[in-house]
Chain A
Amino acid sequence: MKAKQLYNSTLLLKVIFTISVAVIFFIAAITYKHITTLKESSKWVEQSHEINMELERLMSYIKDAETGQRGYLLTKNEEYLKPYLTSKSLINNSYKRVSKLTSNSLIQKINLKHLLFLINKRHNYLSKTLYLVQTEPNYDHKVLNEYLHVGRLTMDSIRLKIEEMSSTQKKILQNRQLEYESSMNYTPLLIYLTLMVTLVLITIAFIKINRDVVKLSKTVNTLSVANEVSSLAEIVGGFGSWQHNFETNTYTFSDNEYRLLGCEPQSFEASIEEFIKFVHPDDLEYVMENVKNMALLATLPSFTYRVIRKNGEIRHFRTIGRAVKVSSGERTYIGTTSDVTEEIYAKNFIEERNRELESNNKELTAFNYIASHDLQEPLRKIETFLSRLISSDFSTLSKPGQQYVNSIQTSANRMRTLIDDLLQFSRTTKTEKSLEKVDFNLLLENAKVELNQIMETKNAVIESNNLPTLKVIPFQIQQLFINIIGNSLKYSKENTPPIIKINSSKIAANSDKSLPANNHNYYKITFEDNGIGFEQEYATKIFTLFNRLHNKNKYEGTGIGLAICKKIVENHNGFIFSKGVLNEGSMFSIYLPFE
């Protein structure tokens, strides 16, 4: 995981670059070391060579001294002492040089010390011998032989020492050579290794760069296409976009932003000053207020205003914007300006229509109400005067006269029922009625009391399970109960006591097929009776206003009762359905939504 992340990050290139540079320095360092070691090696060889040479010279000088001495001893000629005399200084110099040359080797130093000792000893004996011969004409030959013997031994020692030193120096040189070779041995390996590593790194880098380039070119491609699409979208959608860079205080308008104003794209410098030249003077203050908010808010809520296009046309614009983060870190605001003229006009039109409809509706409702209400007055008078007439003067009327009066009364009654029902219907409007939590069991009880007389006359029985408490318009639901139960009582079978069963149940959202799938829960209340029923084909028709399935002579009624029920149920966003079986009974189901 980490490796992959590393691979994909731009850090990788930096890392590879750093490693490569390091590798180069490394190689340079190695090369430098190589060269210096080489230099050193040749220096060692030279040095050893010189040491050997010098030791040889030293040996020869000592030999010269010896030879001189020998010559003198043989010839007693002072001429032979010349080399002996010069030899001391020569030996000294030589010794000094060797000493210098071997200063870095402890062993040689020790050897040199010995050598010095031996040389001095030889010299000592040489001089002793000479002194002896020179100063005493009658020297002891034994002593001389002893001196010469020691001298010879010393010489041998010197020779041995010098050989030792020589071979030591050879060894030293050999060691140094070995060292040099061994160190030189791993260098190529290291270089090959570094070479391999570098190659691998370069390959990785190459692959990555390649991929990045491909991706980049793809992105650039997509971006340019997206740009094209967005420009097109602006033209089609009728909006333009803009940017405001706070740091540089510059604006950028898209091409369509200009077109919306009726101008050629980029025809003037994008700025607030230029833009507000187009804003309607009445909306100018409002627009400027909102522009100011850009500096304060992260999201500029949409505001609508008018502009006057170049050609004098008035359009409605809606602008919205928000602050965005850009990679450069400069505070930038982006936004869109849409031409919503059509939308505004449509909205105004709809609002106007709504107002018209509402006022029409109000008029109709008022008319409906007043008509039913005001019709009552004259009807009541008719009925009352008629009743007075009947109670006081009925007997004095002729037979036809009495019949007429009876017919008048019947018609008046009919009209009374109609007007009562119409009034009831007009009262079941929804407006301005408040919802209250009501116990439906209580409503049922009240309905029973209301219908007490008919119930007793027919020996009706009403059974119910526990009904719910819902938030409804109480008087309307009360009326609903009275109407439905009243209906069941009215349309009961002759000589059969009506039995009305009322049941309630909860219906979970979307679980009942008769309801639309709208994710609401409903309470279902059913009213089932054993009355005369009806043909199922009329199941929806019976809810129509003034629709009756029987003529008015057989069953009294106006055909409004169930229409009122439907209206009440609809006021509560519910549903009502009916099911009937002729001569067996009917069932009415109402569905009322609840939270």
Chain B
Amino acid sequence: MMTEYITIYLADDDADDRLFFTDAFDELKINTKVSTFNDGVDLMNHLNDPDAILPNVLFLDLNMPKKNGLECLLEIKKNEKFNDIAIAIYSTSSTEEHIEETFINGANIYIKKPNDFETLKKILSEVVTINWQYHTSNLNKDNFLMRM
């Protein structure tokens, strides 16, 4: 499947969460390259850089200072250049309406940050795998919706 790495981005203002995230991917056997960003502005600046390598999957925390996850989501969806990126909202608990709103505005995946590490690993692995399936099997990415 993947002899080349999968590019993963994470935007989260919490250092611990970033640590969990990178540690999880370290322990997974998938070949990934993970980049983390501390806030929305940082993320968007990087994405908008013409030389940037775009990620396969982008994990977005919702509560970030300066520019929050939803704002980033809207901005990304407006730009055709980012159409191939699978966007996963990675957040602490939200209301049903809020979760629905992220999907409506273009998110592909919604992940509620889990309480334990093993679950996190499992979720991340599944997300990446399914995303790869979509990629290789020519499935319609617009219908790619997942909730974990």
Contacts and interface: CB of A to CB of B under 8 A. Distances in A.
B93 A373 contact: yes
Contacts of A384: 16, 20, 114-117, 120
A427 B118 contact: no
A447 to B, nearest CB: 13
A246 interface: no
Contacts of A377: 14, 92
B97 interface: yes
Interface in B92-146: 92-93, 95-97, 113-118, 120
Interface residues of A, number: 20
Interface string B64-86: 00000000000000000000000
Interface of A: prevailing SS: helix
A387 B118 contact: yes
Contacts of B120: 384
B61 to A, nearest CB: 11
A423 B92 CA distance: 12
A381 B20 CA distance: 10
Most-contacted residue by chain A among B16, B23, B116 (CB, 10 A):
B116
Given A376-B93, A381-B16, A475-B96, A388 B115 contact: no
B92 A376 contact: yes
A387 B118 CA distance: 8
Contacts of B118: 387, 391
Interface string A433-448: 1000000000000000
Interface residue tally of chain B, by bracket?
10 to 19
Contacts of A376: 92-93
Contacts of B114: 384
B115 A387 contact: yes
A381 B113 CA distance: 10
A388 B121 CA distance: 11
Contact of A373 (B23, B92, B96): B92
A379 B93 CA distance: 12
A573 to B, nearest CB: 21
Contacts of A478: 96
A416 interface: yes
A383 B116 contact: yes
Contacts of B113: 380
A383 B17 CA distance: 12
Contacts of B23: 388
Interface string B36-58: 00000000000000000000000
A472 B16 CA distance: 40
B116 A387 contact: yes
A193 B116 CA distance: 125
B115 A380 contact: yes
Contacts of A373: 92-93
Interface string B19-35: 01001000000000000
B14 to A, nearest CB: 8
Interface in A385-427: 385-388, 391, 416, 420, 423, 427
Given A380-B113, A384-B117, A475-B97, 5 more contacts: A383-B115, A383-B116, A384-B16, A387-B116, A387-B117
14 contacts: A373-B93, A377-B92, A380-B92, A384-B16, A384-B114, A384-B115, A384-B116, A384-B117, A386-B116, A387-B116, A387-B118, A388-B117, A416-B115, A420-B93
Interface of B: 14, 16, 20, 23, 92-93, 95-97, 113-118, 120
Which 3 residue pairs across A and B have the least CB separation, nearest first?
A: A387-B116, A383-B115, A475-B96
